[in-house]
Structure 1
Amino acid sequence: MRYLPLTPSDRSEMLAVIGAPSIDALFVDVPEAARLDGPIHGLPMHASEMAVERHMTALSRKNIAASDGPFFLGCGAYKHHLPASVDHLIQRGEFLTAYTPYQPEIAQGTLQMLFEFQTQVARLLGTDVANASIYDGSTACWEAIGMARRVTKRGRAILSGGLHPHYVSVAKTMAKFTGDVLETSAPTLTAETDIDALIAAIDDTTSCVVVQYPDILGRIADLRPLADACHAKKALLIAVVTEPVALGAITSPGEMDADIVVGEGQSLGVGLQFGGPYVGLFGCKDKYVRQMPGRLCGETVDADGRRGFVLTLSTREQHIRREKATSNICTNSGLCALAFSIHMTLLGEAGLRRLAGINHAGAVHAARRLAKVPGVELVNTHFFNEFTLKLPTEARPIVRQLADRGILAGVSLGRLYPGQDDLANGLVVAVTETTSAEDVETLAAALEEILA
């Protein structure tokens, strides 16, 4: 396809039709501080293709790739081994542009794949039903808050301090347009979660309580008392899972009576990919299914009694009257959902449980070894594959020094919570099946040397 730019007269005609005085008027909703007042400083107006390739290659070499050395980053994005067959299968021509179709019944293969994906997600999350996926974990979290407002007719949501701050940020952005009141807090460097404080905050105006499981510090809590407290006030419990592999070892939120369970599916089938694209998981109790955003694929039979698949529920604005839509989230992450489903199928239930066991065992070994480093304190003793260390000094400079040695040591809480002095010494460390005992020893030895 050729690129055919618009002429000045074309632009003037289009602006006249929509009633805008200028192109700049189309960007009034973008904060002025975020707008450019001219060309990007230092960027040439034009360059040859070879010059751009050389420049971009030089920039890429400044990165430390996840496979370049010991890797302990987590906090919502995890390095797991992806079987080669996952990438091979999703690149087949019939899958490469996977998307829930607009004329669905002629795309039986896509619908069947999504039906299987929904089944896997529902079993994993412990919910009655799951949808055909959403963009990512953070948008799934917000959609759950919006769904709770529709169900309860209330607009006050309580967000746990253990919820990922990026998820909180997305929710705050969206709440500006809905009027929802979000009560938030930061975590504390303690072994216990904020469940008791959340229970105390629930009242008759609460639409939902949102809690991460395991939380941002890797802590695991029994959600049953919180679910009971929510239901006593006719509020909903929303559980957020950023590491789905954990559900191969710990009780699912749905089994603990969570009403809505959402999460990020990146760990299964989807690589780190510089932060995206990812795949949002969304499940809920059956009685709330008509308020669930996104699409739902169902199984049926045709006129001849043969098994077939259809879009059972599709409550988005393109399919029904806009004012009746549950959401305009618009799509599912079809290709990533397929990758998730293929990886889950290759693992099976036994394989997922075995993978979870390897992750947990590796994390326990790493936590014990790193806690022996002089001055380092292990904050939480109950965790899956991610835990928090308290260093004797601010963590961010230590992380930088370790990165200079080729070790990606973890995520400093000072990076996630700038200005929170009480969290500045916190370091969240993640361990997966890709982390070797040698990697752990390399990190421990380097940390001992730097802190000496």
Structure 2
Amino acid sequence: MFPYIPNTEQDEAKMLEVLGIDSVDRLFDDIPEQVKLKRRLNLCAPLSEAEVSKHIRGLAEKNTSTNELICFLGAGAYDHAIPSVIHHLVSRSEFNTAYTPYQPEISQGTLQAIFEYQTMIANVTGMEVSNASMYDGASATAEAAMLAVANQKGNTILISETVHPEVREVVKTYMRFNDINVIEIPAVSGVTDIENLKRVISKETVGVIVQSPNFFGIIEDYTEAVAVTHENKALFIMNVDPIAMSILKTPGEYGADLAVGEGQVLGNGLNYGGPYLGFMAASTKQMRKLPGRIVGQTMDLDGKRAFTLTLQAREQHIRREKATSNICSNQALNALCATIYLSALGKEGLKEVATQCVKKSHYAQKKLIGTGKFRAVYEAPFFKEFVLETDMAIDKLNEKLAEKGFLGGFDLGKAYPSDQNRVLFCVTEKRTKEEIDALVEAMEAIKW
């Protein structure tokens, strides 16, 4: 009847007898009375498995997803096409409980998958080495900042205002509890103010963080920013879209020290906000300072190709004071999705996805401006997201779009108070010309 707690009353009585106590409550005697709830949780009576399933389905049906709405929302989580091969492979039973492979002799398949993942992330970012994935793009960025703090002399991190607002907040949280100053470099016309960066950067700066493409979708040129960062002996950290890197200048080509980002776009669904995976790649110079772990390739006693955890930087493996991180999970299943995605598409396939994002987003921007209800905000080149300005409140606009079957753009006023009535639209390769044209027709039908 209750498969989640299989113990019978007789089982419970026997265990209490062995323990020499008269109730389960006695197991919690060491917990101070003042912190105990002393009442039942506000939950319904126990349910059978069938009843729980029905209840959960009912809750899920209250959500409206991209299965019902055509998505033009991005801002950090993206509705890209996911090849069906990913579902068929990651749902295999040997991957369902994938976790850190501590015993290489019985984890060769998982280790090989992670090794291939690391190789592909290094190739995509143009860097020399990658770790075995992290929690998400925001925490990966914060961990990169922590690496800079631990290994450079100084107490200040600079981060561009064009970096995702939520990523900036996560970085600030990490830094606040480590007594590190975080200074935001303002944006001018949607791009990082390089002149301000030159004025603010100092010998106390340990790292500079930028995003490519930036939060507004704009493609920035970071050549000058890299130069001024390295002149001040700080680390240059780039948060990047891995799909965009197939056609844009990579962190490796810029000479960045660390490349981080969100891997959700690589074959992972939106998943109502998670789980996702973060990635981190670095130059060889920074390799031993990376958080988490790195899977390496070696040979076994028979001379056959084998894999093992080569570098492990968390406190479980080395002295606590030598640890670079307490990262416990490598998001193995999500990283496997990314590995299969990159394998299935290949170099040319990834370029095709990126190219379609560029073409379709530019087509959508032009058509929306053509309705006469939107104005372009920035003239700079963009990848798959663009900012438009309108006379209607964005929340009202999105309400009307939802009624017509569309998930509208991100209201920039929520993150940038000065950007009221500005909306960030996203168009991925998944959107068809018919869907874009339908969005335009819906906009024309909405009364301003």
Give the TM-score normalised by the residue count of structure 2: 0.89
Cα separation, 1, equivalents of 2:161 and 2:341: 32
Amino acid paired to 1:346 = A
Amino acid paired to 1:7 = V
Q: Does structure 1 retain, via aligned residues, the 8 Å contact 2:153–2:204?
A: no
Aligned partner of residue 184 in structure 1, secondary structure: strand
Match of 1:276 among 265, 268, 274: 274
Could you tell me how far 1:448 is from its partner in structure 2? 2.7
Instruction: Name the CA shift for 1:48/1:170 in 2 (closer, same or farther; >3 Å).
Output: same
Could you tell me how far 1:213 is from its partner in structure 2? 0.8
The CA RMSD over aligned residues, in Å, is: 2.4
Aligned partner of 1:206 in structure 2 is 205
Aligned partner of residue 423 in structure 1, secondary structure: coil
Q: Does structure 1 retain, via aligned residues, the 8 Å contact 2:186–2:192?
A: no
Could you tell me how far 1:310 is from its partner in structure 2? 1.4
Amino acid paired to 2:125 = L
Q: Does structure 1 retain, via aligned residues, the 8 Å contact 2:73–2:408?
A: yes
Deviations 1:68-102 (A, max 9, x none): 23211111111111111111111112222222212
Aligned partner of 1:117 in structure 2 is 117
Aligned partner of 1:443 in structure 2 is 439
Match of 2:302 among 301, 304, 308: 304
Q: 1:67-82 to 2 correspondence within 5 Å?
A: 67-82=67-82
Amino acid paired to 1:394 = A
Q: Does structure 2 retain, via aligned residues, the 8 Å contact 1:295–1:314?
A: yes
Q: Does structure 2 retain, via aligned residues, the 8 Å contact 1:396–1:415?
A: no
Aligned partner of 1:127 in structure 2 is 127
Match of 2:26 among 1, 6, 9: 9
Aligned partner of 1:23 in structure 2 is 35
Please, which moves more after superposition, 428-437 or 95-104? 95-104
Instruction: Name the CA shift for 1:55/1:440 in 2 (closer, same or farther; >3 Å).
Output: same
Cα separation, 2, equivalents of 1:398 and 1:369: 17
Cα separation, 1, equivalents of 2:259 and 2:161: 18
Q: Does structure 2 retain, via aligned residues, the 8 Å contact 1:162–1:194?
A: no
Cα separation, 2, equivalents of 1:117 and 1:379: 38
Aligned partner of 1:324 in structure 2 is 322
Unaligned runs of 5+ in 1: 26-36
Identity between Structure 1 and Structure 2 (%): 38
Could you tell me how far 1:217 is from its partner in structure 2? 0.5
Cα separation, 2, equivalents of 1:115 and 1:415: 40
Instruction: Name the CA shift for 1:99/1:57 in 2 (closer, same or farther; >3 Å).
Output: closer
Matched residues, number? 429
Amino acid paired to 1:100 = T
Give the TM-score normalised by the residue count of structure 1: 0.89
Cα separation, 1, equivalents of 2:425 and 2:68: 17
Could you tell me how far 1:289 is from its partner in structure 2? 0.8
Instruction: Name the CA shift for 1:343/1:7 in 2 (closer, same or farther; >3 Å).
Output: same
Cα separation, 1, equivalents of 2:214 and 2:279: 17
1:250 maps onto 2:267 in alignment: no
Amino acid paired to 1:439 = E
Cα separation, 2, equivalents of 1:22 and 1:62: 38
Cα separation, 1, equivalents of 2:398 and 2:297: 50
Amino acid paired to 2:323 = A
1:161 maps onto 2:161 in alignment: yes
Q: Which has the larger radius of gyration?
A: 2
